[in-house]
Amino acid sequence: MSFEAGTLVPDAHIDLYARSDFGRVLVDFWTRHEAVLTRNTILLILGDARNNRRPPRPEVLARMHQRVQSVTWLNPDPKPRWNTGDSVIRTYERYCDEVCAAANIDDLARALKVALHRHG
């Protein structure tokens, strides 16, 4: 992904019907971008942490957390749905400095302000 002219641009086809697999995404991200994860990096993850019963791979997020300044996870699910069904946010939460509900643009803006204020 890249951010060009105010728009998020995928570097490959995005399957909008694919099932979530955050473990695989974390492994892929680590493999491709390990070198840019430094103490100057603020890692921001947006996702519901629903893994569809696939391995969550929290050890990969733990490695990232050790390398970066902070990890903030923005979860679009309302808090009462966290850790229900196939949600594994509790597994990831211990490797995050902050986990926030972000179901709409106002929640997202509020969470980003909190994250930036903490590091600004």
Residue 7: CB atoms within 10 A of its CB come to 7
The per-residue pLDDT for range 52-62, each reduced to its tens digit, is 889 999 999 99
Closest CA to 117 of 97, 89, 88: 97
Please report which helix (H) or strand (E) contains residue 24, including its range.
helix 22-33
| pTM of the model as a whole | 0.81
Which long-range contacts does 36-39 make (Cβ < 8 Å, 24+ apart)?
37/64, 37/67, 37/68, 38/67, 38/68, 39/67, 39/68, 39/69
CA distance 101 to 99: 7
Residue 85 pLDDT class (50, 70, 90 cuts): very high
Please state, rounded to an integer, the average pLDDT across all residues of the chain. Answer: 88
The per-residue pLDDT for range 38-54, each reduced to its tens digit, is 999 989 998 999 988 89
Say yes or no: domain 2-119 is CATH 3.40.50: yes
Query: Looking at residue 26, what is its pLDDT?
Result: 96
